[in-house]
Amino acid sequence: MKPEPGSPSFPDRPGRPDVIVVGGGIGGLGTAFALARQGLRVRVLERAREFGEVGAGLQLAPNCTRILAEYGLLDEAKSLGVLPRNMVMRDALDSRELTRLDLGDLERRYGFPYMVIHRSDLHGIFLHACERAGVELLTDRAVAGYENTGGGARVRLADGRVDEAPLIVAADGLHSVARRELVGDGVVSSDYVAYRAAVPIGEVRGNGVAERDVTVYVGPRCHFVQYALRGGDMFNQVAVFQSPKALAGEADWGTPDELDAAFEGTCDTVRKGIPLMWRDRWWQMLDRDPVDTWVHGRVALLGDAAHPPLQYMAQGAIMAIEDGWVLARHYARQVAAAPAGVAPDWDAVLAAYQAVRVEHCRRVQVTARAWGELWHLDGTPRLQRNALLRARDIGDHSFTDWVYGPTALTPDELPPMFTPIPLSSAAVEDSGDVPPRQAGSDAAEGSRG
C-alpha cells in the first residue's frame, strides 16, 4: 500500500521492502539477517547516526551458539571471543566455592559451546552479515509512531517521513516506542544498578582472578561477575548492587559512592576489582512485566521491546536472537506450504511466532527475577542457599535443560521447567559470620536451586 496523498516518503529507498526492522541493535540485526537469509528484502531503521553497541561482555549459552552455527557465524564469533572452562559461583563475602558448571561437559550435552564475547564484537558480526546479505541499513531514522495499514504497517519518523512494509518488527529496546504505543505499560525498577568495565588482562593479574572461568560472586544485596574477553587479552567485570538511594526514592541513584560502599565487606578479589570499574556511566537494572500479546496487526515486538529481562540468566541478547530465528523459520515454513505464486501468510507466521516465544520468554523473565533474589540473600537465608548449592551434583543439568536446549518452534516443543528446591529444605548451622536478617526467600524458592 502506497503512502496516502501528501505523505512524505523516503527519497533514498530503492523499493518497497518486505520487512522493516526498527532498531539496529543485536536483536534487530540478528532478525534482519535471519529474514534476509530467506530471500526477503529487509530494511533496518536505526535512530543513531551510526551502528554500534555500548557495553562490555556477553555470555552466549548453547541455545545461542547453536543458531550462530546455523548462520555460519560461529567460527567468527569463536575467533573474537573466549571459550571458558567453567562457570563458578562463589560467596562474595568469604570467596568459598558454592557450585560450578563444567562448560566442556555442557557442550557435550547440548552440542554447542558456551562462550563469552564483547558485545560490540557480536554486534559487528551481525552488522557485516547483514551487509553481505543485502540488508538495507539506514541510520539517523528515529521512529516516532506505528500504524497498521490495509496491506501491512507503517512507521512515522520524527522528521515526518513515513515508510511501510507488509511487516514491521519493532526491535527498539527496553524503552520501545512501539511498546509504549501498543501496550502502554512502564518499566519496572529492581532498585539495583550495574557497573561494567573491560580492561587489559594485565591490570587484573595478581588480583586472584580465574582467567579461564566465568566467575560469579554472590553476596548480600550485591554480586560481581568476571571473565576474559577477546582471546584472553581483556578482562570483563560487572558489579551489581542494590541502591539505598533508589530505595529512598531519590532520582539520582546508583552513584559511584554507593558502588564503593556496597562492596566494602566483600572478599579480596572482589574488592580489588571495584577500583577498575568505569565510573562515568552505570546501568539501572530495569525490566517489564511479561505480556501475552506481542503482535499487533502487522507490527511485531521483538527482543527487549517484547520481553526485557533482568540480567541474572544472561539470556537477554540470546532471546532476541532466538526471536529472529523463530520468526524466520516460521516464514520459511509458510513459504514451503504456500502454493506456487501465492504469497506466504504473514498473519500465520506472526501467530506461530507469538504462540511459542511468549511462554519461553515469560519463563526467563520470571526466573531471572527470582534468581536475582537468590543471589542477593543475607543472614540465615544466605547460609541455606549456600548449603543447597554446595550439595548440588556437578553433573546435574535439571536447571539448564529448559533453557540451553534447542529453541522451540511450537508450544509442544517447550521443555518442562525445573522443580524448585525450597530454601527451608536446607539444614544449616548459623556460623555467625553475618548477622541473621529477614530476607525475602519465597521468590528465591521459586528460582533455580
Query: Could you confirm whether 404 is annotated as catalytic?
Result: no
The side-by-side arrangement of strands in the sheet containing 162-165 is: 143-149, 152-157, 162-165
Nearest to 235 by CA among 243, 244, 226: 226
- Integer CA distances (angstroms), 313 to 11, 90, 102, 233, 404, in order: 44, 16, 17, 25, 11
* 125 sits in which H/E element: helix 119-133
Distance, in Å, from the CA atom of 432 to the CA atom of 430, rounded to the nearest integer, reads: 5
The 3-state DSSP composition of the chain as helix, strand, coil percent (nearest 5) reads: 35, 20, 40
Active-site residue (options: 110, 146, 217, 227):
227
Nearest to 385 by CA among 331, 417, 423: 423
User: Quick one: how far is CA 14 from the chain centroid?
Assistant: 33
Q: How many CB atoms lie within 10 A of CB 296?
A: 18
Which residues neighbour 223 within 8 Å (Cβ) at sequence distance 6 or greater? 92, 216, 217, 240, 241, 375, 376
| Residue owning grid cell 558456551 | 114
| Grid cell digits, residue 289 | 512485566
Positions annotated as catalytic residues are 227
